[in-house]
Amino acid sequence: MATITVEGKEIEVDEEGYLVDLGAWFPAIATEMAKIDEVEMGDDHWDIINFLREYYEEYQIAPAVRVLTKAVAKKLGKEKGNSKYLYELFPYGPGKQACKFAGLPKPTGCV
Amino acid sequence: MSDGIKKFMFVNTKAPYGTVYALESLEVVLISAAFDQSVSLVFCDDGVFQIANNQNTDGSGMKNFSPAYKALGDYDINKLYVEKESLEERGLSLDNLMDLTYEDEDDDWAEKPSIILVSRAELADLMDEQDVVISS
Amino acid sequence: MAMLHTVNKSPFERSSLNSCLNKSKEGSSILLIEDAVVGALKGTKVADDLSAAIANKNVYVLGSDLNTRGFTEADILDGIKTVDYAGFVDLVAEHSNVQSWL
């Protein structure tokens, strides 16, 4: 099992870098995963990460990109709820990459 | 249909937790939503238990996946047919089911119920209208 | 000593509860677990069969499996007792033998 080291703790991740134990997440894990992916985390990134964690808490699933986009538009406004904006924040895909940083499983249907 | 959109119906007939059918079907449904088809769900026989209210897995330690049915509206899946006779045979009514809704884009995002109570005979007609029916 | 019977399939889908009810002796115990717990609900089409069994057998349901499926003690037939995992273990220990109806 692969691990990443965050604040001196060994954190287990799967072969694609997703957290094995969803309950083990804390914010510095997102920052470390972003560093590995060469993404610099800003407030805009955190808005999406926090949104995803709330969505998962409520529905127990990681939303598909289309659903995420629509929901972000509703909550944070149209200028953020579009795929261009989300892909700029998370170049490997708002579903795949943002969910990974947020400690969620890979969205169902993502390959 | 000429525009390439087909009518898919997923028929859920099994109780959740004891077997993996309910969870697997839900995953297939969520994936299918990515293909812009017309998707409806049926809950009949023991499938009605999948959307039972107040599921609490604290004692059994299993993953409670029932909240995911509440996300179906976000996936534009808003036709959830529940068979009346199946509920009755199990001593259940609509009150025992989760409050599943969707927001109607064409009606100023008004929240509307997704669950449609149908009889066994009506369900047979609905199945007959589909392009693809997938049972589990 | 009496036999403990366990049933783990929904009575609406399989006939194992029915087989168990037919072949269990007076004074024996029947424990509903996993998908079989829904058989304990009030007002179902198997309620009469279970009520008849309650008259001369001990019928139990595993509470955590009941809660998992969205139901509580208030939803089940009078005379069916709810047990937790520890109670399950006690039942196994108290009976001479366990027969699992699958």
pLDDT for A78: 86
- Domain boundaries along the sequence of chain A: 2-101
**Which CATH number fits the domain that encloses residue B124?**
3.40.1260.10
pTM of the model: 0.90
Asked if residue B1 belongs to a domain, the reply is: no
What's the ipTM? 0.88
Helix (H) or strand (E) holding A2: strand A2-6
Asked if residue B2 belongs to a domain, the reply is: no
Asked if residue B98 belongs to a domain, the reply is: yes
What is the pLDDT of chain C when averaged over all its residues? 96
- Total length of chain B: 136
* Cβ B42 vs Cβ B83: under 8 Å: yes
CA angle A80-A23-C86, nearest 5°? 140
Report how many domains make up chain C: 1
Report pLDDT digits (tens) over B43-93: 999 999 999 999 999 999 999 999 999 999 999 999 999 999 999 999 999
Please, do chains C and A touch (3+ CB pairs < 8 Å)?
no
Does the annotation mark A110 as catalytic? yes
Which A residues, 50 through 69, put their C-beta within 8 Å of a C-beta on chain B? 58-61, 63-64, 66-67
Asked if residue B76 belongs to a domain, the reply is: yes
Q: Evaluate the CA torsion angle C36, C42, C43, C46 in order and state its sign.
A: positive
**Which CATH number fits the domain that encloses residue C51?**
3.40.1260.10
Does the structure show a pLDDT above 90 at A77?
no
Closest-CA residue in chain C for B62? Answer: C68
Check A49, A76, A110, A111 and give the catalytic one: A110
pLDDT under 50: residue ranges of chain C: none
DSSP assigned state of C24: P
What chains are in contact with B, requiring at least 3 Cβ pairs below 8 Å? A, C
Question: Does residue A111 or residue C45 have the better pLDDT?
Answer: C45
Pairing mode, if any, of strands B110-113 and B101-104?
antiparallel
Query: Nearest by CB to B90, which of C8, C12, C65?
Result: C12
The DSSP code sequence of chain B is: -TTS--EEEEEE-S-TTTSSHHHHHHHHHHHHGGG--EEEEEE-GGGGGGGBTT---TTT-----GGGGGGGGGGT---EEEEHHHHHHBT--GGGB---EEEEGGGTTEEEE-EEEE-HHHHHHHHHT-SEEEE-
- Bridge partners, residue B115, by sequence: B80
Give Dmax over CA atoms of chain A in angstroms.
Answer: 40
Cβ–Cβ gap B46/C38 under 8 Å: yes
Of A76, A6, A69, residue with least CA distance to A43: A76
What chains are in contact with C, requiring at least 3 Cβ pairs below 8 Å? B
The full 3-state SS of C34-72, as one line of letters, equals HHHHHHHECCECCHHHHHHHHHHCEEEEEHHHHHHCCCC
Report how many domains make up chain B: 1
pLDDT for B2: 54
Cβ–Cβ gap A59/B34 under 8 Å: no
The whole-angstrom distance between B95's CA and the closest CA on chain C is: 12
Confidence of residue B132 (pLDDT cuts 50, 70, 90): very high
Does the structure show a pLDDT above 70 at A109?
no
pLDDT for A110: 58
Report pLDDT digits (tens) over B100-119: 999 998 898 899 999 999 99
CATH class of this structure's domain A2-101: mainly alpha
Percent of chain A whose pLDDT exceeds 70: 97
Range of the domain at C41: 3-101
Task: Using an 8 Å CB-CB cutoff, list chain A residues near B67.
Answer: 58-60
For chain C, say whether B57 makes contact (Cβ under 8 Å). yes
d(CA B53, CA B99): 8
DSSP assigned state of C9: S
Task: Using an 8 Å CB-CB cutoff, list chain B residues near C16.
Answer: none
Helix (H) or strand (E) holding A3: strand A2-6
- Total length of chain A: 111
Range of the domain at B113: 7-135
